């Protein structure tokens, strides 16, 4: 299930920076998400394979002076978006308010999950990480564990969420917590999880992990493990810094002792969880990069929409380039 696409530029006179800026704006238009200047600079895409990025001032000057971009991109209230998409400014403001409420809820839950055995860092991902959440959006989390702790940490986290009835699947529950991925501190490189070289959706997903709990500086280690392949496709990519008022500090007492006692039971925890895998996971497990169950890494994205989003992006980008 590899991703492959050919981009038709249609305008040979446009510079690589102009095309890259337009590509970023067009991609986020799929999600009704207008961009600020700083976001455009961070998200510009290297579609040609030879674009090496640009400074923030170069991006600003390009947006101000390029007639090519002025014909296709509109600016209002600090946001850039495709012409004809004026309504998405209001949508972004509305979703920001929803995301604020979900972040408050996420901090409550993560404060508890951070105390689970072997848990060392917790990242928010998907729409909430972009402050672009809808009312019905789940709170999607990625959890980094101590080496050898993915199965035990997942078991404890799932048990906690099940007792609180806030896992996906429970009806009439808002702000459900989806534990989409676990990896230990020795398996931070995600390059092998791409679906081909043009897996734009995955790149943006990884780039915007938002750390709410990080006991060992693992977010920076995660960034260093992935920045080379990210920057090949997004040359201005950089870390996402967490607001201090959102950051969670947790130092569970006696956790090292508890982990020492529990470690021999990792095989049992793995057996229990594998036995409970639903058929939809078993059917595609390790067949491609949607669902991966391997040493130090558990990834459960059954409803993976990468291909759908890529096709929508290519269609929109090529249309606006005409």
pLDDT tens digits, 93-105: 999 999 999 999 9
Residue after which a domain boundary falls, among 85, 105, 136? 85
| Mean of per-residue pLDDT scores for the chain | 91
Cα 50 from Cα 269, distance rounded (Å): 47
> Are the CB atoms for 188 and 298 separated by under 8 Å?
no
Q: Determine, yes or no, domain membership for 321.
A: no
Global confidence as pTM: 0.92
Judgement on whether residues 183 and 280 belong to the same structural domain of the protein: yes
Residue that finishes a domain, picked among 85, 114, 140: 85
- Note the pLDDT of residue 13: 64
CATH number of the domain that residue 77 is part of: 1.10.10
* DSSP for residue 266: H
Q: Does 266 fall in a domain?
A: yes
128 with 33, same domain?
A: no
Rounded to an integer, the average pLDDT of 249-257 is 84
Whether 189 and 248 share a structural domain? yes
6 or 308, which is more confident? 308
Same domain as 72, residue 130: no
Q: Is the pLDDT of residue 51 over 80?
A: yes
Within 10 A of 56 (CB to CB), how many other CB atoms are there? 13
Amino acid 1: pLDDT: 45
Give the pairing type, strands 297-300 and 139-145.
unpaired
Confidence of residue 11 (pLDDT cuts 50, 70, 90): low
Comparing 246 with 202, the larger pLDDT belongs to: 202
Separation between Cα atoms, residue 119 and residue 147, nearest integer Å: 10
Residue 127 forms part of a structural domain: yes
Asked, for residue 307, whether it belongs to a domain, the answer is: no
Q: Determine the pLDDT at residue 6.
A: 47
Residue 298 dihedral angles phi and psi, to the nearest 5°: -130, 120
Q: What is the pLDDT of residue 3?
A: 46
Q: Name the band, by pLDDT with cuts 50, 70 and 90, for residue 197.
A: confident
157 and 252 housed in the same domain: yes
Same structural domain for residues 39 and 167?
no
* 8-state DSSP, 263: G
pLDDT at residue 14, as a whole number: 77
pLDDT tens across 149-185, in order? 999 999 999 999 999 999 987 876 788 999 989 999 9
Residues 174 and 142 both lie in one domain: yes
- Inside any domain, residue 311: no
- pLDDT of 312 higher than 70: yes
pLDDT band at 250 (very low <50, low <70, confident <90, very high): confident
Helix axes 200-207, 218-233, angle to 10 degrees: 150
What pLDDT score does 254 carry?
A: 86
269 & 129 share domain:
yes
Residue 130 contacts residue 271 (beta carbons within 8 Å) = no
Q: What is the number of domains present in the chain? A: 2
Res. 213: pLDDT tops 90:
yes
CA terminus-to-terminus distance, the chain: 29
Q: Looking at the domain assignment, is residue 267 inside a domain?
A: yes
- Both 202 and 70 in one domain: the answer is no
Is residue 121 a part of any domain in this protein? Answer: yes
What stretch of H or E contains 301? Answer: none
What range does the domain containing 123 cover? Answer: 95-301
Q: For position 100, which CATH number holds?
A: 3.30.460.10
115 & 248 share domain = yes
At residue 9, the pLDDT reads: 46
Alpha-carbon span 190 to 150, nearest angstrom: 16
CA 259 to chain centroid, in Å, comes to: 29
- Name every residue whose Cβ is closer than 8 Å to that of residue 297 and which is 6 or more positions away in sequence: 150, 181, 182, 183, 184, 187
pLDDT digits (tens, 9 = 90+) for 55-93: 999 999 999 999 999 999 999 999 999 999 999 999 999
**Same domain for 72 and 175:** no
For residues 216 and 181, the model is more confident at: 181
Same domain, 212 and 153: yes
With vertex at residue 70, the alpha carbon angle to CA 65 and CA 73, rounded to the nearest 5 degrees, is 130
For residue 23, is it within any domain? Answer: yes
309: helix, coil or strand? helix
What pLDDT is recorded for position 147?
Answer: 95
**Is pLDDT above 90 for 129?**
yes
For the stretch 278-300, pLDDT in tens is 999 999 999 999 999 999 999 99
Q: For residue 159, what pLDDT is reported?
A: 95
**293: three-class secondary structure by DSSP:** strand
Place of tokens 């967490």: 242
Q: Which of 50, 85, 120 is the last residue of a domain?
A: 85
Strands of 45-102, DSSP E: 73-76, 79-82
């Amino acid at each position: 299930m590899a991703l492959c696409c050919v981009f038709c530029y249609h305008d040979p006179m446009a510079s690589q920076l102009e095309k890259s800026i337009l590509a970023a704006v067009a991609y986020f238009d799929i999600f009704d998400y207008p961009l600020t200047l700083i976001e455009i600079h961070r998200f510009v895409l290297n579609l040609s394979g030879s674009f090496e990025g640009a400074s923030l001032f170069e991006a600003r000057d390009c947006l101000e002076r390029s007639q090519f971009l002025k014909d296709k991109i509109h600016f209002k209230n600090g946001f850039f978006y495709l012409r004809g998409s004026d309504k998405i400014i209001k949508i972004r403001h509305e979703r920001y308010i929803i995301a604020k409420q979900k972040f408050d809820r996420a901090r409550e839950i993560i404060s508890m999950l951070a105390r689970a055995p072997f848990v060392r860092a917790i990242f928010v991902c998907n729409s909430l990480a972009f402050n672009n959440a809808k009312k019905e959006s789940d709170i999607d989390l990625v959890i980094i564990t101590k080496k050898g702790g993915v199965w035990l940490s997942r078991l404890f986290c799932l048990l906690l969420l099940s007792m609180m009835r806030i896992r996906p699947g429970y009806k009439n529950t808002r702000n459900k917590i989806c534990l989409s991925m676990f990896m230990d501190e020795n398996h931070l490189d995600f390059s092998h999880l791409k679906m081909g070289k043009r897996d734009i959706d995955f790149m943006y997903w990884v780039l915007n992990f938002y750390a709410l709990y990080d006991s060992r500086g693992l977010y920076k280690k995660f960034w260093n493990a992935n920045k080379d392949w990210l920057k090949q496709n997004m040359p201005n990519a950089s870390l996402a810094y967490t607001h201090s008022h959102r950051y969670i500090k947790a130092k569970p007492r006696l956790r090292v002792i508890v982990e020492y006692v529990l470690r021999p039971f990792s095989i049992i925890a793995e057996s229990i969880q594998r036995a409970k895998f639903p058929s939809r996971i078993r059917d595609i497990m390790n067949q491609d990069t949607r669902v991966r169950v391997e040493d130090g890494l558990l990834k459960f994205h059954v409803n993976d929409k990468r291909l759908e989003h890529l096709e929508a992006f290519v269609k929109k980008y090529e249309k606006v380039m005409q």
